[in-house]
Structure 1
């Protein structure tokens, strides 16, 4: 998938596998993608050229993306953070493959001149680094990546998928979700490969790639908000730094965000053919929710994978 190519990637040319019922995932570059997004992901890979001033929030689905979007928007656009009360985080920080490169090679956004150094755009994507390497490596844009405990990620994804319109007729069985997560054919999976792609980059190029876990953010939000501001080149300054940071943290808390009317809405993402209501992005935001769903045998099965995929590479996380 070269950036210079204009050929449309056809589903019929790709390996596919059922992940439940009649629903299939398609494999591109070793990762399993929803058919609705295969071509838009291909467009992003081939045509998206981020500016040096751009910020990309990358993540595996259901790992804290919505919350980090709110934090990043509030950090970068502090004078406009009140927009979070009336606009959904996914509209303020749009998803490249879901809301922007949806129908053509031309993005559904107005891109500023490369000479406008004061304009900062924030985008998000679930595309693995392994597929987006050429795009990110050729740009000076900054990338923030968030990950989450694999067991909590699994549970959050299972709940999220079962809110989709297509699951009204046939829900995604929990046992099937567990098997698919462990075996790889999972939306944007394999999870472990996705995480490690960005983790390795953050270690090799920390000035460009900022890697944070959902648990770190939850346990010490203030410290990580300050670190993110420094990384993004817009540090908090003045005698009231503590108050500024506290204001951002409070306005982006789960309790505050989930109570805004826009985030309780049944409306769907603007510009997306994938109809998911705004309110489906706010469920619990808790750490350790998997303990309410997974038996000891399943926990050990996932932990064994975590040791193999993370711990063996020196990333001591996930258990």
Structure 2
């Protein structure tokens, strides 16, 4: 008898929609859209993950600066090991809860290199705050969240989808429609952002460090210092060279030119890689520019996204450009 997949009884009845023109579909779970395997990882995370009070959780929507922030957080917390980033991709140093640690609906053996100089674990997730395990919400672990101008995000997301051959074809028009309707993997995008923004405003003091990709680009050194303070490992007044070195090693130009990050081979899951969804390391480093959407989006697309952003973010005090 064929063994049933984990959480099959919970997932199969969920509403589904196609995305990208062909299977697998997206499943709606508690207001958000995910691939089936992501929901399996989400549910397993709820059932099994027990955070430590010293944990740092890097939270983000995909393609909003996750790889860059992983390299920065690793370097800030493990300063004398920052050169590891010149030979190891940051996704191998900081695992994802639902995509690495609890893939296939059950806990996995670590698929990443355990390389740390502190008792602080750094973990990542693309889950919205609304769907984080209660164990996380009730813990003292710190959360660092990064988001991005939605127009730049959707262009980066679209390029990532088409650059990795495993993905089903997604046109730019379909991607823009996805962010405007909320129907895209992990979406709705604005609900995801607002979940962490609300927790930053209303949650326990100093629990959430919320930043935008644009602000991080504008003043990387200043945010490295602020993150050090937030994480309990501050930089002293005489540590300017240390901060500058972290900024240099973690910069887009440095990371893109590291040999390991030029790898075009698709990395799979389940003991072979760092994610449920195969992708090449090279696809993580395209441009990293602010305002790149102007090179791709039509005026009609821009107006659509701006209209939805204005409606969704109204009254929140948050402006994403």
TM-score exceeds 0.5? yes
Q: How far does residue 34 in structure 1 lie from its aligned partner after superposition?
A: 1.6
SS in 2 for 1:32: strand
Give the aligned partner of residue 102 of structure 2. 101
Report the Cα distance in structure 2 between the residues aligned to 1:67 and 1:105, rounded to whole angstroms. Answer: 28
Give the aligned partner of residue 225 of structure 1. 224
CA contact (8 A) 2:27 2:35 kept: yes
Are 1:92 and 2:90 matched, yes or no? no
CA contact (8 A) 2:37 2:104 kept: no
Give the aligned partner of residue 3 of structure 1. none
CA contact (8 A) 1:129 1:197 kept: yes
SS in 2 for 1:223: helix
Give the aligned partner of residue 160 of structure 1. 160
CA contact (8 A) 1:303 1:318 kept: no
Give the aligned partner of residue 151 of structure 2. 151
Report the Cα distance in structure 1 between the residues aligned to 2:198 and 2:33, rounded to whole angstroms. Answer: 21
Report the Cα distance in structure 2 between the residues aligned to 1:219 and 1:180, rounded to whole angstroms. Answer: 28
Give the aligned partner of residue 19 of structure 2. 19
CA contact (8 A) 2:34 2:185 kept: yes
Are 1:256 and 2:262 matched, yes or no? no
Report the Cα distance in structure 2 between the residues aligned to 1:107 and 1:228, rounded to whole angstroms. Answer: 30
Q: How far does residue 134 in structure 1 lie from its aligned partner after superposition?
A: 1.4
CA contact (8 A) 1:150 1:318 kept: yes
Deviations 1:164-185 (A, max 9, x none): 3334xx5211111111110011
Q: How far does residue 46 in structure 1 lie from its aligned partner after superposition?
A: 2.3
Q: Please, what TM-score do these two structures have when normalized by structure 1?
A: 0.90
CA contact (8 A) 1:141 1:208 kept: yes
CA contact (8 A) 2:40 2:105 kept: no
CA contact (8 A) 1:222 1:245 kept: yes
Give the aligned partner of residue 139 of structure 2. 139
Q: How far does residue 266 in structure 1 lie from its aligned partner after superposition?
A: 2.3
Give the aligned partner of residue 296 of structure 1. 299
SS in 1 for 2:211: strand
Q: How far does residue 107 in structure 1 lie from its aligned partner after superposition?
A: 4.2
Give the aligned partner of residue 287 of structure 2. 284
Give the aligned partner of residue 61 of structure 1. 62
SS in 2 for 1:103: helix
Give the aligned partner of residue 275 of structure 2. 272
Q: Which runs of 5+ in 1 are unaligned?
A: 1-5, 111-117
Report the Cα distance in structure 2 between the residues aligned to 1:78 and 1:40, rounded to whole angstroms. Answer: 31
Q: Which runs of 5+ in 2 are unaligned?
A: 1-5, 112-117
Q: How far does residue 240 in structure 1 lie from its aligned partner after superposition?
A: 2.8
Q: How far does residue 190 in structure 1 lie from its aligned partner after superposition?
A: 0.3
Q: How far does residue 7 in structure 1 lie from its aligned partner after superposition?
A: 5.4
Q: Please, what TM-score do these two structures have when normalized by structure 2?
A: 0.90
Deviations 1:7-64 (A, max 9, x none): 5664312111112211311111100012232201211122211101111000011000
Report the Cα distance in structure 2 between the residues aligned to 1:291 and 1:135, rounded to whole angstroms. Answer: 41
Give the aligned partner of residue 123 of structure 2. 123
Report the Cα distance in structure 1 between the residues aligned to 2:37 and 2:55, rounded to whole angstroms. Answer: 26
Give the aligned partner of residue 31 of structure 1. 32
